Amino acid sequence: MIPDRNLMASIGLQDKQQRTWVADITDMMAEGPMVFLRLPKIRQALVASPEPMLWFSKNMMELAMLELEICIRYLQCSDKNGDVDESDVILQEIRRRTDDIKMKIKLWMIGEGSSENDLDFGDRMSM
């Protein structure tokens, strides 16, 4: 505050209004940088920042690559009748990694407030 530019005094607030305003400003100052989350446009910009989108895209790209690896591995592990050797260690590891990524994304989506219907993204992706 600049003493020579006391906005409270210049706009003629009543005592009760001044106390309320001072209390609000004091609360905001005590809240620190988190006070910006009170502003809807700032909050929306923070939520829609590129970092979460980049994280999500990276994980979805890895999932897509692993799905391709599973297809390739199925061809490599199939006999002439088309039966796949499910005990193949590499195939099991690809599936484990796929499951880990899907769980990580689901937990992130739950944390972001996604609905139950949104959480089957992995099954839709592999169709």
- Domain ranges, ordered by start, for the chain: 3-44, 49-125
Contact 125, 63 (CB under 8 A): yes
Rounded to a whole number of angstroms, the CA Rg of the chain reads 27
DSSP for 40-69, please give it. HHHHHHHHT-HHHHHHHHHHHHHHHHHHHH
Q: What predicted TM-score, i.e. pTM, was given to this entire model? A: 0.53
Residue 127 confidence (pLDDT) above 90 = no
| pLDDT top residue among 73 and 56 | 73
Mean pLDDT of the chain: 80
Q: Where are the alpha helices (DSSP H) in 5-127?
A: 7-11, 15-31, 40-47, 50-76, 89-111, 121-125
